[in-house]
Copies of this chain bind each other. A is one copy, B any other.
Amino acid sequence: MQEEKKVINGLLEALKSQDEESFLHIAAGLHYADLAEVFESLNEADREFFTDKIDAEMFAAVITELPDTMVEEALGKFSADDQREILDLMSDDDRVDLLQDVSDETRDTLLELLEPDDIEVTRSLLRYGEDTAGGRMTMSFGKIGLELTVKEALDELRDAHADSETLARVYVTDEGGRLIGRLRIRDLAFNNWNTPIKEIYLPCKRTILASADQEEAAKMFSKYDLIVLPVIDEHDRLLGVITYDDALEIIEEESTEDIERMAGMAGEVSERSYLNTTLSTHFKRRFPWLLGLAFLAIASGYVMLKFEYVLDELFILALFLPMVVAAGGNTGGQASTMVIRAMALGELDEGSTAKVAWKELRLGLLLGSLLGVCIAITTMFVLPFFYSDMPAEVGFVKFGIAVAIAMTAQITTSTLVGSLLPIGARRANIDPAVVAAPAITTIVDVSGMVIYFFVAKVVML
């Protein structure tokens, strides 16, 4: 990796000095993923130079690695002829990905540039949603008829697919195009050339429907350690395959989406392009939650207004008010995170609610009472050194007990709310990640205010 850094720095220097020859020379030695990273980091002028000088074949690979938000602009820097060549050189699934990331008008213009047989494949792939198994699959993969021999199969594959990475698996189909079984290239390599395919193919147990969610496909890859997953229609006809590198990408995308949702971010995932996402997109993704939660938080203020007389009587209560309220947010956030992640990884099913509730109830009581004891000790033994106005009829002991009880109640409530709300959301077909830390915190802030003032009133006043 160290050496790569040096090469990349050399490329950046060539760009800065607009040195075409050394730019092309260095670029030729780099992986397209590295070139894409360099392109992302450039300013407008250097991007112009980059697209101007690089040849279309290389850029056809680079563009597959660019963040979605940059694709349209990058492609726009090329002439129609170059665009045609770039699209022509892309694999069918990458081409469809690209077309899904551009505006409708651009898509129509680009489609017209395609070769006649590419148009057909592309249009049929475009019918599947971007986040479905069909939208992720490639139609270029090794497929052989049931009636061939090993030699015939090898000849056919060599002609059709010598370049294709997906030869890790070869699929066997019948005359109707239905998926019958699979072969590994090694089964062809290690068997006699006269062996009929019929005798050596293996059954194909794992398949996915084209209409299924891409997340389901990714889960199958990770659970069954797959390298290729065939995509079929309702009649078992083999439509295409998804490969392991797509699974990696899906898992990263879905994790990012979960993480961002859990932090209260709306809309599409930003896909490794924090810096290249416009200010207005960032704004649009953050503002709705902030506004909603702000108005929800007025409820906390309302509770404070209602209990004004309690604060009036004993203003030292204010010292521990933020602590008790915030502790609920923190523990509720932890509980919801654990539960949301466990659901995302497929651990918790419908029957687990009672188990989760029981676990979190005990955990909440444990965490709350221990934290309560810590706070009570502080209040009884440390606070007296700093505060001398405690009314005699209350006293530090009673005060400490009240704060400890409020803390225990707040943490137990919040732990339960934090763990059960995401489960409830999923039941209601809402993405559980939506009721993560920010929402939970705002909700338990309100209950925390009520609990704190109520306990204070009952114990002390």
Contacts and interface: CB of A to CB of B under 8 A. Distances in A.
A301 interface: yes
A262 B1 CA distance: 28
Interface string A294-337: 11011011101100100100011011111101110111011011
Number of copies: 2
Contacts of A274: 338-339, 341-342, 347-348, 356
A70 interface: no
B323 A301 contact: yes
Contacts of A245: 222, 225, 244
A121 interface: no
Contact of A167 (B186, B273, B359, B442): B186
B190 A162 contact: yes
A311 B318 CA distance: 11
Contacts of A66: none
A326 B300 contact: yes
Nearest to A368: B290
A201 interface: no
A430 interface: no
A254 to B, nearest CB: 9
B304 A319 contact: yes
Contact of A273 (B279, B333, B347, B445): B347
B338 A371 contact: no
A260 interface: yes
A348 B275 contact: yes
Nearest to A448: B322
Contact of A322 (B221, B300, B319): B300
Interface residues of A, number: 109
Contacts of A1: 216
A56 to B, nearest CB: 21
B304 A322 contact: yes
Contact of A363 (B224, B286, B333, B334): B286
A111 interface: no
Contacts of A322: 297-298, 300-301, 304, 325, 445, 449
A42 interface: no
A333 B264 contact: yes
A186 to B, nearest CB: 5
Contact of A445 (B291, B293, B326): B326
A333 B222 contact: no
Contact of A256 (B167, B282, B345, B407): B345
Interface in A345-381: 345-348, 352, 355-356, 359, 362-363, 366-367, 370-371, 374-375
Contacts of A374: 291, 294
A38 interface: no
A341 B275 CA distance: 12
A399 to B, nearest CB: 13
Contacts of A427: none
A185 B157 CA distance: 14
Contact of A333 (B263, B270, B318, B356): B263
Contact of A305 (B275, B290, B318, B437): B318
Nearest to A437: B437
Contacts of A449: 322
A49 interface: no
B331 A290 contact: yes
When A and B form their complex, which 10 residue pairs have the shortest distance between CB atoms, in order from nearest? A263-B337, A300-B322, A255-B255, A189-B189, A274-B342, A301-B319, A297-B323, A225-B245, A304-B318, A272-B345
28 contacts: A165-B225, A186-B189, A222-B248, A248-B248, A259-B337, A260-B337, A272-B342, A272-B346, A272-B347, A274-B338, A274-B342, A275-B359, A282-B338, A282-B359, A286-B334, A290-B367, A290-B371, A291-B371, A291-B374, A294-B323, A298-B323, A300-B322, A301-B320, A302-B319, A305-B318, A305-B319, A326-B445, A437-B437
Given A263-B333, A326-B441, 14 more contacts: A1-B216, A188-B189, A225-B245, A260-B341, A263-B334, A263-B338, A272-B346, A290-B327, A290-B331, A294-B371, A294-B407, A301-B323, A304-B318, A304-B321
